[in-house]
Amino acid sequence: MSEERWVIIDETPGMFQAEILRGLLEAQGISVVLSQEGAGRAMGLTVGALGAVQILVPQRESARAQSVLDEYYAGDFENQTFADEGEQSDINHLLDEE
């Protein structure tokens, strides 16, 4: 049995941004591992080389993951409506009651 090969597809300047990107990728069904230098993680650094967090995905999913990140950085995920019209009217109805 061959071992899964993981590749770095991005690097962020801290864990907060890395967690956001992990959530985005996992929502697309892509497996993600975050890696940060041990000293940076222990000291809670968010700047410099020790604060950098590498985002890794399985090599077989890297092209799709890179495409998702490219769309994210291009702003394609901004201002999207995720609820269909029926759900939206239910939400508006609840807001009107308050």
Does residue 68 contact residue 28 with C-beta atoms inside 8 Å? Answer: yes
**pTM exceeding the 0.85 threshold for the entire prediction:** no
Joined together, the tokens standing for residue 49 give 């080389």
Delineate the domains of the chain, giving CATH numbers in brackets. 6-97 (3.30.70.1530)
pLDDT at 22: 96
Q: What's the pLDDT band for 72 if we cut at 50, 70, 90?
A: very high
pLDDT per position as a tens digit, 37-62: 645 454 555 555 667 899 999 999 99
Joined together, the tokens standing for residue 8 give 């770095």
